[in-house]
Structure 1
């Protein structure tokens, strides 16, 4: 139920207030009244940060104006100098560098707490996984209505240090995490801390079965990578006459693993496997745009560096003044002159990160083994991807392989109309010269890289290669040729994507994807829309 998501979100905030060592909460919700009501329950002293925040704001640095006015070195404190609750807006845009800095602050155990507001609209737009791993809780409020938010806040809670637990409890939690496919050791530790915080929330001095069940649901459900298997019910052992019928709250308890798994299983999404595939593809390929390289004229600003005033160089005035400020008193005394003293060593040069254009090379299987309907779906998917590439101003090339060889139907271009015309005229039939298609796509990728483009090869095939590189019908040699070319492509550092369009996944094609170090997408029953969406996700668009 949607109200359950709101209850989990508010409960997570209460547990974080008791134990900041739980790291924080990742909230999947767009900006609006629902999210505002949740943020109203956070610490009033919480500080908001954004993905473009500087290192100086986080860790502190030189107070330039105070230093210049006083003539003495004045340092300014950063947000991470003292324990605080940080609210990261637009968390799905958090850079790898910022995620690493926040993760380091959380790992140091200085009672920092992070509330990450994930505003992503697509499944592949999400918080950095390394940072998300350090947050105990995750909740999705996308489907919560305003009626579900009318819940009262609890009053005073118990003391966390007074809560004890069964020493064997950690073994049981670790076993539950293993059954859910969770390989992180942080997860069971978060579960134990959440159980203790939940017990303190209800003024209990020992972790109970209810505390453990709630903690497992809050900390393990969103981390699961596999559906837990149901275990057969076992008969409960008969109670001996000498054993008391009931145990007090402060005694140990024995909660079956199946009950804990049921609590987690109830929160697992129906499309868990699809979400994991999309996340894996996103992590494997990185950004969907062209490769980043350093420039001096446009793009995202990078930290400035020491340099000389040359043609085309742009001085970072603030950084230059900041470098010169600590030496002003010494330089004035040495020269006997007032005013601002700037030396060559103080000069800082601006740097920018610009991205090259991307070339998306489609290598489409047009052989007879690809049924006409599958070829039509592949054409439809390519057309949808072409429209997206055109909107991003990417370059597109089209290679078709059939019969005894491959053909470059369309050299790198930005013309959407011309590309669609060539694709519509693509015939089907004949053998599957997969090696020839891969070789021609690689040759185009090599030429594109020389022109400053960032190439990516997308292969659409059923994987039944039966034509060798020399044009002969030799299935064994065809597989060897494809593997050899794949090794060359990987050694060259060219990104690739392999889409298996066969009726069932082809092991040989999976091995080819492993050789290419490429994302492998088996899509036996996918239409054009799903094909294009999966490719776009794998490319990080």
Structure 2
């Protein structure tokens, strides 16, 4: 079934249905990924969600520190009381409500891990500043995805959230509420006290209306018959998830929970076929990674007609025949068709083209983190000597605060007693810039094509070098040796000038090219950078290090050079530009490198592969 053309008004209505579902069970459904730029459309959707929530709503600032996120020692209260006093963090404050996360595509890995752990357990483990406590933290997440097409929310969080909404194509004109139904959704307090958007906590008054939540109510067929319930909803959703290439088990479980919420809002004890279809549209369709395989035709022996249903005196014979035909269609196929029809338009185009594109690294990505004693971004503190680092005064006072009642004996109670064991110095980390070293096979009759691809990829990556704080280098091997034709640089003008005069042709001294790339990468590492080698070749070496021809010796030396890359732990990506995946694949295995077969690569696909490999 081909998907219908996306209607912005229909997308907005679907987002309101998703908001009503999420508001009914924020922690159970995990949350919502809302892809939309900052503006009135997104603000209107958030206001609508806030009006349906009964719990607190907290907004998480970008770059939030651990003591604010998960809590820690309340320093003023501890100094007054002379004993440790816990200060609740933002996640504990949001217990029973929702946390709104702006710029979610740029969350730090540590923050992602803490959010994921809290979603899994519903509690927050506070173990810092000498404290050990478990605080309730049952909340839902609203991740505001504001990135470009190559920036995505961390998969560890996206997998735990049931709903995904894309409002990037909705204008303010389409973002209107069905005013005749809003009063039925929640009873908003009008006593003038408190938050005017805070709904009453009574469960009956907080139930969404059936007409709003049960989106296409399954009265779907002109005969007035409803979709038949499936025998096992779990098996149905798992089968649909498998058919669309969804590997995570969380997706069908979240879809089942969503179906139960839809059924409960309609007054049914368990989910029926229409509930499963609606849940699959909302939860499974945005996660699809492939299209289901076409159904195989049944053999004549297996294609036995189903037994006719018992006659119904109130139904014409032709209606009974139509029901028999519809009953012959498996419930899984019905849900499959529903998910296929709900696939986003851009996702369907990518799937029909052969699969989702390579995900690139975020634009703000920099090199690997490295410890620095005097400069960098603070990432906590540890015990140490202030003469060998930067003193963290607040952390020092926190370490000393719990002992003040014992240390103040016989001293001025207004003083704070600090011992050398209390000293804390800052832990600082700075990002080293990444240098991508292109090692390009410039030999043979196909050299012009490979050089064109490399030139285009270098120019594309250099255009992002300022934002990504990356550098680019180019090593070309041809004839009897290899040379560094472009030292590490961010200068796009210099790179274009050097690339324009790069010659091609001759033999394939693959081992010499790998040696030159390794020497350059080790130099980058010694200077504090993070090197990444990108090798574009078909893997068919025919010139040894000595300059003599011979495929056998040249191939052995190339594998030996690849093993040296593995021994030096140099990150490597092998892009196979050959028509047959033989030599380049063996080279990648010897170097323990990522292997990417791109026999018909262009500059865009090469640069996307590089960004995905260096993410």
CA distance in structure 2 between the partners assigned to 1:290 and 1:239 by the alignment: 66
Among candidates 485, 505, 516, match of residue 591 of structure 2: 516
Write out aligned runs for 1:74-113 (5 A): 74-81=85-92, 82-109=95-122, 111-113=138-140
Paired residues of 1:320 and 1:346 also in contact (CA < 8 A): yes
Displacement of 1:71: 4.4
CA distance in structure 2 between the partners assigned to 1:16 and 1:387 by the alignment: 41
Displacement of 1:529: 4.6
State the secondary structure of the residue aligned to 1:203. Answer: coil
Identify the range of structure 1 (147-156 vs 91-100) with the bigger mean alpha-carbon deviation: 147-156
State the secondary structure of the residue aligned to 2:99. Answer: strand
- In the TM superposition, what whole-angstrom CA distance separates every residue of 1:98-149 from its partner, at most 9, and x where no partner exists? 11111111111464211111111232x1111111111111122211222322
Displacement of 1:211: 0.8
Write out aligned runs for 1:165-314 (5 A): 168-232=232-296, 237-242=305-310, 255-266=330-341, 267-268=343-344, 269=347, 270-272=349-351, 276-279=356-359, 282=361, 288-311=365-388, 313-314=389-390
CA distance in structure 1 between the partners assigned to 2:361 and 2:338 by the alignment: 29
Q: State the partner residue of 2:534.
A: 458
Identify the range of structure 1 (294-303 vs 43-52) with the bigger mean alpha-carbon deviation: 43-52
Q: State the partner residue of 1:115.
A: 142
Q: Does 2:213 match 1:145? A: no
Q: State the partner residue of 2:204.
A: none
Displacement of 1:59: 2.8
Paired residues of 2:479 and 2:505 also in contact (CA < 8 A): yes
Q: Does 2:485 match 1:409? A: yes
| TM-score, length-scaled by structure 2 | 0.77
| TM-score, length-scaled by structure 1 | 0.87
Q: Does 2:73 match 1:62? A: yes
Paired residues of 2:462 and 2:490 also in contact (CA < 8 A): no
Paired residues of 2:574 and 2:594 also in contact (CA < 8 A): yes
Gaps of 5+ in 2: 1-5, 123-136, 186-206, 214-228, 321-326
| CA RMSD between the two structures | 3.2
State the secondary structure of the residue aligned to 1:149. Answer: coil
Displacement of 1:399: 1.2
Among candidates 152, 163, 175, match of residue 126 of structure 1: 152
Q: Which has more radius of gyration?
A: 2
Displacement of 1:457: 0.9
- In the TM superposition, what whole-angstrom CA distance separates every residue of 1:307-335 from its partner, at most 9, and x where no partner exists? 12215x21111112222222222211254
Q: State the partner residue of 1:38.
A: 45
CA distance in structure 2 between the partners assigned to 1:38 and 1:318 by the alignment: 40
- In the TM superposition, what whole-angstrom CA distance separates every residue of 1:494-534 from its partner, at most 9, and x where no partner exists? 112233344x4634324433443444444444443554454
CA distance in structure 1 between the partners assigned to 2:29 and 2:75 by the alignment: 36
Closer, same or farther in 2 for the Cα pair 1:194/1:282, shift >3 Å?
A: same
Displacement of 1:171: 1.3
Paired residues of 1:209 and 1:253 also in contact (CA < 8 A): no
Write out aligned runs for 1:442-453 (5 A): 442-453=518-529
Paired residues of 2:236 and 2:331 also in contact (CA < 8 A): no
Closer, same or farther in 2 for the Cα pair 1:3/1:104, shift >3 Å?
A: same
Write out aligned runs for 1:478-493 (5 A): 478-493=554-569
CA distance in structure 1 between the partners assigned to 2:114 and 2:149 by the alignment: 25
Report runs of 4+ in structure 1 exceeding 6 Å deviation: 233-236, 243-246
Displacement of 1:465: 3.1
CA distance in structure 1 between the partners assigned to 2:517 and 2:542 by the alignment: 18
CA distance in structure 1 between the partners assigned to 2:541 and 2:246 by the alignment: 37
Displacement of 1:170: 0.9
Q: Does 2:10 match 1:8? A: no
Q: State the partner residue of 1:249.
A: none
CA distance in structure 2 between the partners assigned to 1:489 and 1:145 by the alignment: 52
Paired residues of 2:118 and 2:138 also in contact (CA < 8 A): no
State the secondary structure of the residue aligned to 2:34. Answer: strand
Closer, same or farther in 2 for the Cα pair 1:253/1:301, shift >3 Å?
A: farther
Q: State the partner residue of 2:417.
A: 341
Among candidates 25, 28, 32, match of residue 32 of structure 2: 25
Paired residues of 1:399 and 1:407 also in contact (CA < 8 A): yes
Closer, same or farther in 2 for the Cα pair 1:253/1:30, shift >3 Å?
A: farther
State the secondary structure of the residue aligned to 2:475. Answer: strand
Paired residues of 2:350 and 2:357 also in contact (CA < 8 A): no
Gaps of 5+ in 1: 247-251
Paired residues of 1:158 and 1:204 also in contact (CA < 8 A): no
CA distance in structure 1 between the partners assigned to 2:376 and 2:304 by the alignment: 66
CA distance in structure 2 between the partners assigned to 1:151 and 1:219 by the alignment: 23
Count, aligned residues: 526
CA distance in structure 1 between the partners assigned to 2:444 and 2:455 by the alignment: 15
